[in-house]
Amino acid sequence: MTNIVAVGIQWGDEGKGKIVDVIAPHMNIVARFQGGPNAGHTLVVGGKKIVLHHIPSGILHAGVKCFIGNGTILEAQGIVEEMDSLTQAGFDIEGQLFISERTHLIMPYHIALDKAREQSKGKAKIGTTGCGIGPTYEDKAARRGIRLADLSAKNIEERLTNNLEYYNFMLREYYKAPEVDMADVQASLALLRDRVLPFSANVSALLHAAEQQGQRLLYEGAQGLMLDTDHGTYPFVTSSNTVAGSAMAGLGVGALSATEIVGIAKAYCTRVGSGPFPTELFDETGTFLAEKGHEFGATTGRARRTGWFDAVAVRHAVQVNGLTGLIITKLDVLDGLKEIKLCTSYELNGETLNHVPALAQDMNDSKAIYQSFAGWEGSTYGLTSPDDLPKEAQALLDAISQICDCPVVMLSTGPDRDHVMWLSDTLK
């Protein structure tokens, strides 16, 4: 039995969508365990662009079932648009997509508060995606959230009225922002009842049954470890646990369910939104990485900040996720660089740090200490065999593996499905 957890281990946007797309044909089920429409990946199918935010890219493979777990949150309009674009592109989602009845719902008042709050913070803003992620997870912890199952609760109207009163008070009195109309909330509810509720299921029970039948399960995370609400650069993080251990809570499967835990990282590093980023580049190399790597967010279209690979952060991710393998993406973006750097430690107030500091301010003040590597001649674009890798690229990968204390099990060398190098059979 092979059950795999696949997580991002930088600040998101590591190329998880593509990797899930590559591994999915070897699996029976792909199940997403946290996050919401703040995530996003763009897929081109038959010349048509499909942007998925909630639904795992496994949906593109006939016969692979896709689950959205209780640890995720969803927004009515967004998920319905994804469903429609998949149907229009010829994908049959019925019988292939299952959404946990315990999944919390993003309501119009969550989105309004997220935006109002960011606006009021000015320069101190986190740079959220504005999708209502923080307020929805807050409501979950505060026990006033609305889940898919709650749509059939007798007291749903009363709970919504109370919530709206609370949110409108905050919007009006504290943020001096426009209030949300009950009609918008009702419209969201109607859409959920009509279009989303038919997909609701007891995901935990379905996964348990699948495991008993010896099916192969892929647990897919969103964002990345450095955005984890506990292990990331708090408070510049998202509002859920992105760490692999959260797959179990976010899907309702046993703690021993996974047999492989893979962490996905770019061969360099990007970040959107505010927060510390010790290896950030402000020079022409940063621009080169941004342009060559097409570093613009799928959810917000914002330009991503770019920098060198941060092995301190990845080592932290290896430890807290318990990774069994690293998947390095976008290696080809480094083609053409004369020198490539890896950050191996930080320096803070004259002291060497080998770990990620808990305090964002300390991380912000940390200077990256680098090990330098020679770049390579020629192109790694689309390479599929390790024998074809330039020796300098191999040396860089060996160093990543050694410094981060984890083997590299797969490489992505271009945007297409076929642009991938399997370095281990454990994921097949």
Q: Does 39 bind ligand IMP (CB under 6 A)?
A: yes
Q: Does 227 bind ligand IMP (CB under 6 A)?
A: yes
**What are the start-end ranges of the E strands in 221-304?**
260-266, 269-271
26 or 115: CB nearest ligand IMP: 115
70 or 239: CB nearest ligand IMP: 239
- Tell the smallest beta-carbon distance from residue 230 to ligand IMP (Å): 14
Active-site residue 13, yes or no?
A: yes
**Which residue in 304, 302, 333, 320 sits closest to 396, CA to CA?**
333
- Tell the smallest beta-carbon distance from residue 323 to ligand IMP (Å): 19
**What are the start-end ranges of the E strands in 193-338?**
200-201, 217-220, 260-266, 269-271, 305-307, 309-310, 325-329
101 or 139: CB nearest ligand IMP: 139
Single residue of 70, 233, 239, 279 touching ligand IMP by CB under 6 A: 239
Range in contact with ligand IMP (rule: CB under 6 A) among 105-113, 121-129, 193-201, 205-213: 121-129
* Omega cis (within 30) before 276: no
Active-site residue 228, yes or no?
A: no
Q: Which residues ranging from 324 to 383 are in contact with ligand IMP (CB under 6 A)?
A: none
Rg of the chain taking only CA atoms, in angstroms: 21
Binding residues with ligand IMP: total (CB under 6 A): 19
Q: How many CB atoms neighbour CB 95 within 10 A?
A: 8
Single residue of 134, 250, 252, 414 touching ligand IMP by CB under 6 A: 134
Kindly state the DSSP code that residue 124 receives in the 8-state scheme: G
- Tell the smallest beta-carbon distance from residue 57 to ligand IMP (Å): 13
- In angstroms, how far apart are the furthest CA atoms of the chain? 67
What distances in angstroms separate CA 73 from CA 223, 232, 257, 265, 344, one per listed residue? 14, 20, 23, 24, 36
The residue type of 168 is N
- Residues with catalytic function: 13, 41
Q: Which residues bind ligand IMP (CB under 6 A)?
A: 11-13, 38-39, 126-129, 131, 133-134, 222-223, 227, 238-239, 272-273
